[in-house]
Amino acid sequence: MQVENDRVFLRQAIELAKNGVEQGAGGPFGCIVVKDSLVIGRGYNQVTSTNDPTAHAEVVAIRDACRHLGSYQLTDCDLYTSCEPCPMCLGAIYWARPRRVIYACTRHEAATAGFDDAVIYQEINVPVDERKIPFDHQALNEAAALFRLWKDKGDKKLY
Amino acid sequence: MQVENDRVFLRQAIELAKNGVEQGAGGPFGCIVVKDSLVIGRGYNQVTSTNDPTAHAEVVAIRDACRHLGSYQLTDCDLYTSCEPCPMCLGAIYWARPRRVIYACTRHEAATAGFDDAVIYQEINVPVDERKIPFDHQALNEAAALFRLWKDKGDKKLY
């Protein structure tokens, strides 16, 4: 039963992806967020049409669902995506904290279509000073003071 | 000379972070994007004030800079961030492809302030079926067909 329900929602994510490609919105990826069997967020890749490198299907759907809920947390929500998330989207998912993620294609299938998330998956584990994009650490007292400011703040909202 | 220039820009990123905390926008993080010595994108964490779990300083600054450039690529741009990026932001950076990233605090300092990016860094390397958030793979023919649709598309824009 759950598998059959999952497939119904996965097909909706895939349909979004297909429409996105046909419209020329971006890459072949779609995502929906479901809560209590209702679709509360939708997204398809819009990187090239909106000039936003972060507009992956999952990020767009998470933002849409959070707007709908008026919350930055996707508690008790399930996220259906046409393809296994890239590291950016995986990070977005962990920050949004849905209950479950269901995906159809794997990152390896995505790679054969030219979406090489593997490079980013590898780079995450490379020491910062050996990355393809150079990462320079420059310690500054003012930056350390930011965390003290945060720790001392009385009315802060944690996330 | 470059180090001194870097510090000037890093301090601007830190100032944005500070203003964000003081306004109650979100966590203590700021970021700017610089091209040809000009600031072309700005961001501070706005997760809790905008109910957007993806509104980290880097993502906001990347989106702002890309809007400014009318491009989804940050070619020849440098990204200054008050703190080492979390995996979501690291992914966003790799998709945006700036020339260089300069950061002030480390992820370990962030962890002591309660921002536990380490969990997400760990989870990325955990097999999908052993993650804290369950990831279910369900292969579907319709999903595989998406990549064929993409491969066969004549006028597609790569990213």
> Which residues does A100 contact at the CB level (< 8 Å), separation at least 6?
A78, A79, B133, B134, B135, B136
8 Å CB contact of B133 and A94:
yes
Query: Which B residues, 57 through 116, put their C-beta within 8 Å of a C-beta on chain A?
Result: 59, 62-63, 66-67, 69-74, 82-84, 86-106, 109-110, 112-114
Q: Where are the beta strands (DSSP E) in B36-137?
A: 38-44, 78-83, 100-105, 135-137
Radius of gyration of chain A (CA): 18
Q: What is the pLDDT of residues B95-126, one digit of tens each?
A: 999 999 999 999 999 998 999 788 899 999 89
- The ipTM assigned to this model is 0.96
Question: What is the model's pLDDT at position B1?
Answer: 77
Q: CB contact, 8 Å: A154 with chain B?
A: no
Alpha-carbon distance A110 to A114, whole Å? Answer: 7
Question: Residues A56-78: what's their mean pLDDT?
Answer: 98
Question: What is the model's pLDDT at position A71?
Answer: 98
Contact present, A107 and A98 (Cβ < 8 Å) = no
Residues of A with Cβ-Cβ distance to B58 under 8 angstroms: none
Would you give the DSSP letter of residue B127? -
User: How large is the greatest C-alpha to C-alpha distance in chain B, in angstroms?
Assistant: 57
> Which SS3 state, helix, strand or coil, does residue B3 take?
helix
Position A90 confidence tier, pLDDT thresholds 50, 70, 90: very high
Question: Residues A127-149: what's their mean pLDDT?
Answer: 93
Alpha-carbon distance A159 to B53, whole Å? Answer: 8
The pLDDT of residue A116 is above 80: no
Contact present, A91 and B133 (Cβ < 8 Å) = no
Q: What is the pLDDT of residues B40-93, one digit of tens each?
A: 999 999 999 999 999 999 999 999 999 999 999 999 999 999 999 999 999 999
Catalytic-role residue among A58, A109, A130, A142: A58
